[in-house]
């Protein structure tokens, strides 16, 4: 078994197992603890509307912070959108999902993907620069912050190497002529899968749950978001 076969085989299935089992464990743990019974009279019973309001209102920076955090907020939007475009719009990624699940959707044009890579990489570099140079951020940062950044940044870099012209050439039998860049990229993605449920990156699937629960609770109390 060569490195690419290992990345496409046991390493992939193990990382997916950890990803889904770990994510399910995190979600079940949240709902298992539950919440204390609120005996107060609800000001609103539109809990679903409150949950949706909680989810979407937190995507917009509050006006109290707009004077000081414009660059950081804009950077956050840019690299999150860039990552979403790359992950869900790139044809090889869609084919990867289709191979695993049978589901597929139309891909975005190649130039759009390449344009999205720039803001994603630059945005992540800006995030790390701010974390290293700001005294308060540096004091508050721990292993989770740096390692989570690393496992997101690494697939971007290895992905750029895997999509270069020479690396994607295939033999007459359909196998890649240069499998090493593809294998390294796959392994970097699998490292991301392994870490995602346990570190701060879990916000990628927890964010809507937590904001929805908070929004529903605050809507019940009639509190402004």
Closest residue by Cα to residue 144 from 73, 207, 198: 198
For 18, what's the count of Cα atoms within 13 Å in the CB-facing half-sphere?
A: 16
Q: Contact, 7 vs 187, CB < 8 A?
A: yes
The string of pLDDT tens digits covering residues 100-140 is: 888 899 999 888 888 888 888 998 999 899 889 989 888 98
**Whole-number pLDDT of residue 76:** 83
The string of pLDDT tens digits covering residues 37-63 is: 777 777 777 777 777 877 777 777 766
Residues 156 and 93: their CA atoms lie apart, in Å, by 13
Residues 159 and 120: their CA atoms lie apart, in Å, by 12
- What is the token pair recorded at 158? 């290895």
Residues 36 and 138: their CA atoms lie apart, in Å, by 36
Residue 150 has pLDDT above 60, yes or no: yes
**Mean confidence (pLDDT) of the chain:** 83
Contacts made by residues 159-163, CB under 8 angstroms, sequence distance 24+: 159/86, 159/185, 160/117, 161/185, 163/92
Residues 190 and 192: their CA atoms lie apart, in Å, by 5
Q: pTM score, two decimals?
A: 0.80
């Amino acid at each position: 078994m060569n490195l690419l076969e290992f990345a496409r085989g046991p390493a992939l299935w193990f990382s997916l197992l950890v990803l889904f089992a770990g994510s399910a464990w995190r979600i079940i743990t949240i709902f298992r603890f539950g919440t204390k019974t609120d005996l107060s009279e609800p000001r609103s019973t539109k809990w679903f509307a409150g949950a949706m309001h909680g989810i979407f209102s937190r995507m917009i920076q509050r006006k109290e912070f707009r004077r000081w955090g414009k660059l950081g907020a804009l950077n956050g939007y840019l690299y999150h959108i860039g990552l979403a475009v790359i992950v869900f719009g790139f044809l090889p990624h869609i084919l990867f999902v289709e191979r695993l699940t049978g589901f597929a959707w139309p891909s975005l044009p190649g130039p759009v993907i390449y344009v999205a890579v720039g803001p994603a990489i630059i945005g992540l570099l800006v995030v790390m620069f701010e974390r290293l140079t700001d005294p308060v951020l540096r004091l508050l940062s721990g292993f989770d912050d740096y390692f989570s950044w690393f496992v997101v940044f690494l697939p971007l870099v290895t992905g750029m190497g895997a999509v270069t012209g020479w690396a994607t050439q295939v033999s007459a039998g359909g196998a890649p002529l240069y499998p090493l860049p593809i294998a390294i990229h796959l392994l970097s993605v699998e490292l991301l899968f392994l870490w995602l449920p346990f570190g701060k990156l879990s916000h990628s699937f927890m964010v809507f749950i937590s904001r929805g629960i908070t929004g529903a609770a605050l809507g019940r109390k009639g509190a402004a978001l």
